[in-house]
A and B are shown apart, each in its own frame.
Chain A
Amino acid sequence: MAQQTAAKGDFISNLGRIYAIYTGGFIGFTILLAILEQFGVPNKVIGYAFVFLTIGVYALIGWVSRTAQLSEYYVAGRRVPAFYNGMATGADWMSAASFISMAGGLYLQGYDGIAYVLGWTGGYVLVASLFAPYLRKFGQFTVPDFLGVRYEGNLARVCGVIVLFSASFTYIVAQTFGIGIIASRFLGISFEIAVFVGLVGILVCSMLGGMRAVTWTQVAQYIILIIAYLTPIVWLSTKKYGIPIPELTYGQALQDIAALESKLGVVKGHIAAFADAKGQFSWDRFVNYFALILCLMVGTASLPHILMRYFTTPSVREARQSVGWSIFFIFLLYFTAPAYAAFAKLEVYSNVIGQPIAQLPAWVQNWSQVGGMLTINDANKDGILQLAELRIHQDIIVLSTPEIAGLPYVISGLVAAGGLAAALSTADGLLLAIANALSHDIYYKMIDKTASTAKRLIVARALLVIVAICGAAVASTRPSGIIQMVAWAFSLAAAGLFVPVVMGIWWKRTTTTAAIVGMMSGFVICLYYLVMTRYYPEAFEAMWGTKLWFGIQNISAATFGLPVGFLLTWILSYYTKAPSDEMQAFVDSIRRPKGEIAWTRGAQVHE
């Protein structure tokens, strides 16, 4: 692919042309493989071609974008236009959980699963309105940077790094796990080895070029993941209803499902809201639905790997606009996910259930051979498949849709490439967020303030590799539950970072002591609830006389950390000395898009 030759000259002004050629090249490559498939090229070769060619392209972009400049390494030189930053944020944001598991969750849970769709989009309204323009105006490198300056000192900075590390590391383990699953399935190697193959894929994108390389790779990854996600479902919608817009046609599918549900005697309907297993309204479901939405949204606005993307735009105005583009590009995938679930369910209800087990469609046979993903157990030995005799794992809904639709294998390869792009891009962003916090906030700001540029970049890269290896090592032990780990990361970030950042910008009276106490108590309560209810439920019950506080699941643990953090910060601020005039002037200066930042005397500023 020759599109990178133009990357040297005036790269930014040629972005549209470069990525158009890239997109065309990728589509051409897919068509070429489709033709080769017709000529009898084996499936395994197609799988290898997709995995290695896409990783090769990412590596090439990573190599071309290598840099020895600090601001290029940390914030891509602050030259990323709003539109492309939106695309990069989309890829940064959508992970293996969104791409592979979310539609499956909707398939299994129906309406209640939509909490994930809502929670993972609505947070951008908070980012747009409360955070992005002000952090961009602040104009340093990391989120702990902001805490360190606004709350005058290294204690706030360290607290920020602790929260950032806990949330992002939890998240990165889940992503590496997802990469391992895809790589092992499509390359036919063992899971433990696949995790380390994925690790190499992550490192080639980010190590040499930092944020600059990750940005341009993420744009490329977004293009692949969105094509991969939309192609099979558009095909399926056209085939079934003659209209290539699945988001419009699945309303009909929902009605067909409802008709089949009553025929099959399903008591908890697909569209039934807040219903328990018997189909009755449940307060417990109701409360957990909204608690989860709240935690995911606030977590969105607090995750440092997302916030740091808005450090890279050329201006405050573009930072704002860029949030709009981000949510638009994310929306394209998220409003399609429920259609996946509906079409898959309709297919299963109408063409799988009630069929003689010996005559099931080919995709059912294929997936029942993949360990534990789809199981059929003819309990009453009548040779006919009943609904209760079929178990489908949520992670195969998206991956199996091409086969459900009867599409050629090349589309399965495409979907695998998309899932890989989603997982790699998120892992890259997270890795950079962690390594930057450690190298910039801990090493440079606290250990060696005189370190040269070259030395700082060496430390940054060394830490990147160390964190990546630790993440892969933890992932290779197969800790359970990807979605759960991801939701934990959101709760940790929400409980620890949202309050100090939002109050630091929007309320001048917030004092250092109050912010640090509020932030750490919110975070600790959230962590306590997570760890105790997950790993020591007996001890938790013995102490509190209940399994869960107010019945709230631990994936929504920030429900408790957030209000405690807010109240403590608010009340303690009134009991501590008001911030200095200097600090108030600083806050004023980040609120205005125009003009210089009024640095306080204590702030250690660079460049």
Chain B
Amino acid sequence: MSEMSKDKMDSYWNETKRLMWIIMAFWVFFSFVVHMFAIPLNNIVFLGFPLGFYMAAQGSLIAFVVLCFWNSSAQNKIDEKYGVAED
């Protein structure tokens, strides 16, 4: 797509970068931040599980799956908006 203007490419890339940073923020939260509070969270019971344990064994994993699919569909929307999706 050599005919794509520099401005358009820049704003396409800025939107892509924004999405990337949002995904990374969620990734940091579900990989590290939430587990730092595992000890207090373990005092709360969720679905019969201590919540701190649940987040590490299931909650974060579900979040990772959702993040990957969400990233895929959000990026597709950006691609289509700028007309850079594959034919």
Which of chain B's residues has its CB closest to A273's CB?
B38
A591, CB-defined interface residue at 8 Å = yes
Contact at B85–A118, with CB atoms within 8 Å? Answer: no
Separation of A586 and B85 alpha carbons in the complex (Å): 18
List residues of A (235-270) whose CB comes within 8 Å of B's CBs. 247-248, 251-252, 254-255
Separation of A326 and B52 alpha carbons in the complex (Å): 26
List residues of A (319-349) whose CB comes within 8 Å of B's CBs. 320-321, 323-324, 326-328, 331, 334-335, 338
Contact at A128–B72, with CB atoms within 8 Å? Answer: yes
Which of chain B's residues has its CB closest to A589's CB?
B1
Contact at A122–B42, with CB atoms within 8 Å? Answer: no
Contact partner, B42, options A125, A271, A320, A593, Cβ 8 Å: A271
Which of chain B's residues has its CB closest to A120's CB?
B61
> In angstroms, how far is the closest chain B Cβ from the Cβ of A201?
31
Which of chain A's residues has its CB closest to B52's CB?
A273
Size range of the chain A interface in the assembly: 35 or more
> In angstroms, how far is the closest chain A Cβ from the Cβ of B55?
10
Residues of B close to A431: CB separation below 8 A: none
Residues of B close to A328: CB separation below 8 A: 65, 68-69
Interface bits A563-607 vs B (CB < 8 Å: 1, else 0): 000000000000000000000000010011111000000000000
Residues of A close to B60: CB separation below 8 A: 118, 121-122
Separation of A128 and B74 alpha carbons in the complex (Å): 12
Known A-B contacts A297-B31, A323-B68, A593-B84; A254 and B50 likewise in contact (beta carbons under 8 Å):
yes
Contact partner, B64, options A130, A331, A338, Cβ 8 Å: A331
Main SS of the interface on chain B? Answer: helix
Interface bits B1-31 vs A (CB < 8 Å: 1, else 0): 1101000010011001101100110110011
Residues of A close to B67: CB separation below 8 A: 125, 128
Contact at B57–A114, with CB atoms within 8 Å? Answer: yes
Separation of A293 and B30 alpha carbons in the complex (Å): 11
Contact at B61–A124, with CB atoms within 8 Å? Answer: no
Contact partner, B58, options A130, A247, A252, A281, Cβ 8 Å: A247
Size range of the chain B interface in the assembly: 35 or more
A453, CB-defined interface residue at 8 Å = no
Contact at A251–B49, with CB atoms within 8 Å? Answer: yes
A133, CB-defined interface residue at 8 Å = yes
Contact at B75–A273, with CB atoms within 8 Å? Answer: no
Contact at A124–B68, with CB atoms within 8 Å? Answer: yes
Separation of A133 and B72 alpha carbons in the complex (Å): 10
A468, CB-defined interface residue at 8 Å = no
A317, CB-defined interface residue at 8 Å = yes
A-B contact count (CB 8 A): 146
Contact at B72–A117, with CB atoms within 8 Å? Answer: no
Separation of A124 and B61 alpha carbons in the complex (Å): 11
Contact partner, B86, options A124, A272, A594, Cβ 8 Å: A594
Contact at A271–B64, with CB atoms within 8 Å? Answer: no
List residues of B (45-80) whose CB comes within 8 Å of A's CBs. 47-50, 52-54, 56-58, 60-62, 64-65, 67-69, 71-72, 75-76, 79
Which of chain B's residues has its CB closest to A339's CB?
B57
Contact at A118–B68, with CB atoms within 8 Å? Answer: no
Contact at A594–B1, with CB atoms within 8 Å? Answer: yes
Contact at B53–A111, with CB atoms within 8 Å? Answer: yes
Which of chain A's residues has its CB closest to B66's CB?
A324
Separation of A331 and B32 alpha carbons in the complex (Å): 18
Contact at B72–A592, with CB atoms within 8 Å? Answer: no
A274, CB-defined interface residue at 8 Å = yes
Residues of B close to A593: CB separation below 8 A: 79, 84-86
Separation of A458 and B4 alpha carbons in the complex (Å): 43
Contact at B72–A324, with CB atoms within 8 Å? Answer: yes
Separation of A124 and B32 alpha carbons in the complex (Å): 15
Which of chain B's residues has its CB closest to A119's CB?
B31
Of listed B2, B19, B56, residue having the most chain A CB within 10 A? B56
Contact at A128–B35, with CB atoms within 8 Å? Answer: no
Contact at A274–B38, with CB atoms within 8 Å? Answer: yes
Separation of A83 and B39 alpha carbons in the complex (Å): 38
Separation of A122 and B63 alpha carbons in the complex (Å): 9
A183, CB-defined interface residue at 8 Å = no
A34, CB-defined interface residue at 8 Å = no
Of listed B16, B24, B27, B83, residue having the most chain A CB within 10 A? B27
> In angstroms, how far is the closest chain A Cβ from the Cβ of B47?
6
Contact at B16–A591, with CB atoms within 8 Å? Answer: yes
Contact at B50–A271, with CB atoms within 8 Å? Answer: yes
Contact at A122–B87, with CB atoms within 8 Å? Answer: no
Contact at A114–B56, with CB atoms within 8 Å? Answer: yes
| Known A111-B56, A121-B61, A273-B52; further 7 A-B contacts with Cβ < 8 A | A118-B60, A128-B68, A293-B35, A297-B31, A316-B86, A317-B72, A338-B57
A positions within 8 Å CB-CB of B = 111, 114, 117-118, 121-122, 124-126, 128-130, 133, 247-248, 251-252, 254-255, 271-274, 281, 289-290, 293-294, 297, 315-317, 320-321, 323-324, 326-328, 331, 334-335, 338, 506, 588, 591-595
A-B contact pairs, 14 of them (CB 8 A): A111-B38, A118-B60, A124-B64, A128-B23, A129-B23, A273-B53, A293-B31, A327-B65, A331-B64, A335-B58, A591-B13, A592-B12, A593-B85, A594-B87
Instruction: Please list the 4 inter-chain residue pairs (A to B) with the smallest Cβ-Cβ separation, ordered nearest first.
Output: A251-B48, A595-B1, A273-B38, A251-B49
